[in-house]
A and B are shown apart, each in its own frame.
Chain A
Amino acid sequence: MKYALLIYSSEAAGPQTEEEMMAEMPQWFAYTEELDSAGKNLGGEALLPAATATTVQVRDGKRITTDGPFAETKEVLGGFYIIEAADLDEALTWAEKIPASPYGSIEVRPVMEIPGA
């Protein structure tokens, strides 16, 4: 099974300054390395703040572009991993270990398997 671990947090939570971010980095490297060496890491990215987001919708064949993330909520998507896990419990265990879990929320979503793809 493939899972997407979607990392949400309030941008006011977690590391705020450059130094605090740098201080947290080793935890992220360690986590990613752990995923890698377990052969579970299928990819992922960290995202820039929601203020840099742009949302696109097509309505009646016309593109509508708006400033900002799709949902104006306090907790925003900050990054994601795509992992390989035997089942949800394994995925949840990996989610728990994500460095942002103490101040954010990790949404675990099974990745759709496209038959024949």
Chain B
Amino acid sequence: MRDFGDLELAEDCAQEAFVQASETWGVTVEVPDRPGAWLTTTARRKALDRVRRASSYKTKLEELETRAKRGPERSKAGELVDEQLALLLGCCHPALNLEAQVALTLRLVAGLTTQQIASAFLVDEPTMGKRITRAKEKIRAAAISFGPVDRDVLADRVGAVRHVIYLIFTEGHASRSEDEFVRGDLCDEAAWLASLLIELLETDVESYGLHALILLTDARRATRIDDDGIPILLEDQDRTQWDRDKIAAGLASLARAREIGRLGTFGLQALLASLHAVASSFEETDWPRIVRTYDLLFELDPSAVVALNRAVALSFSDGPAVGLAAIEPLRPHLDGYVYLHSARAELLRRLDRAAEAVASYEQALACNPPEAERRFIERRRDGLLDGP
């Protein structure tokens, strides 16, 4: 059995990085009266980046590496990968359940405290603590390795890491939380983890795709909800408030992905996000290209949800009647899916079929959407009821 000191050491590293980051942040970054919590989050992020490269963290990582090198499996040259990647792969090992993978990644790689992770995932601290403890017990008892990974399984294992990062992002981007629809802290963690991943895997097309997708989507963060916390439709968002730096970084990662190879599902979704990001207005959006991109995505992921999104795009390139016709055959497959009903309602509204639109909004509400979306749908429905 492997020396389970590896895990403790990894945890030490994360803890130390976090503590030092908080200190560095306090000393070197001007926290004061700048608006927007994301600024301070970014500051912490940057500080954390620095510290992660700093000496004491490196020393510990080297110790981790030395320990791993002593293992017999280190003998085969050319099969070894970066220790930090190994840590990430270990946290996302498929022998751990998904919840545990997410919690461990945030704890050991991103350096969040158990309390922070608990509040991010809307559970109390003891529950999250138990989840992490159980995961660590399994790591020890079953001897899950935090050491090097063979190249032949690397692709599969990295897929699990991307999945976990994407889950962290989606939880931040459209939270199930009652009082906060967008959780910027989680979006930041996901963006940072994705940037770590592309730093570690410089030729992995899908990791670049994921990084691009997160940044290009997150660039819209400031414009996605109104003062009441209710989502704002893409067509009504103030594009001047989109984050140009994130868009530029996202486009750069997308370009890199396309240089490396054929885009996968994350890369194609990033391409979709980029077409919105570069459009000067909703009307100027290249809808035919978006439809074609959804066609490519559907080839890789032939799901009803992708078909639904394609139908919505089609409604903007070819008109709402065409979009609606494309949605109808999906209804049996997505009957419990809130977005099917709300998308259908929007198309019926554009076709001036108000009564049917109201009925479709009602069906969307019956799917029990998160609080913020429920209020959004009610507002759209009530707008029709008041009528012109």
Contacts and interface: CB of A to CB of B under 8 A. Distances in A.
Given A51-B134, A54-B95, A67 B141 contact: no
Contacts of A66: 94-95, 97
Given A48-B141, A51-B138, A52-B142, A68 B94 contact: no
B68 interface: no
B33 interface: no
Nearest to B153: A63
B138 A67 contact: yes
A78 B4 CA distance: 23
Chain B interface helix/strand/loop/mixed: helix
A63 to B, nearest CB: 7
A67 B100 contact: yes
A52 B97 contact: no
A37 interface: no
A67 B96 CA distance: 5
B137 interface: yes
B30 interface: no
Q: How large is the interface on B (under 10, 10 to 19, 20 to 34, 35 or more residues)?
A: 10 to 19
A21 to B, nearest CB: 15
B97 A63 contact: no
B156 A63 contact: yes
Interface string A29-62: 0000000000000000000110111100000000
Nearest to B156: A63
A33 B7 CA distance: 38
B141 A52 contact: yes
B94 A52 contact: no
Nearest to B99: A67
A68 B96 CA distance: 8
Contacts of A93: none
Interface string B312-327: 0000000000000000
A52 B137 contact: yes
A63 B160 CA distance: 13
Contacts of A63: 156
Contacts of B137: 51-52
A65 interface: yes
Nearest to A52: B141
27 contacts: A48-B141, A48-B142, A49-B141, A51-B134, A51-B137, A51-B138, A51-B141, A52-B137, A52-B138, A52-B141, A52-B142, A53-B142, A54-B95, A54-B142, A63-B156, A65-B94, A65-B95, A66-B94, A66-B95, A66-B97, A67-B94, A67-B95, A67-B96, A67-B97, A67-B100, A67-B138, A68-B97
Interface of B: 94-97, 100, 134, 137-138, 141-142, 156
Given A52-B141, A52-B142, A67-B95, 11 more contacts: A48-B142, A49-B141, A51-B134, A51-B137, A53-B142, A54-B142, A65-B94, A65-B95, A66-B97, A67-B100, A67-B138
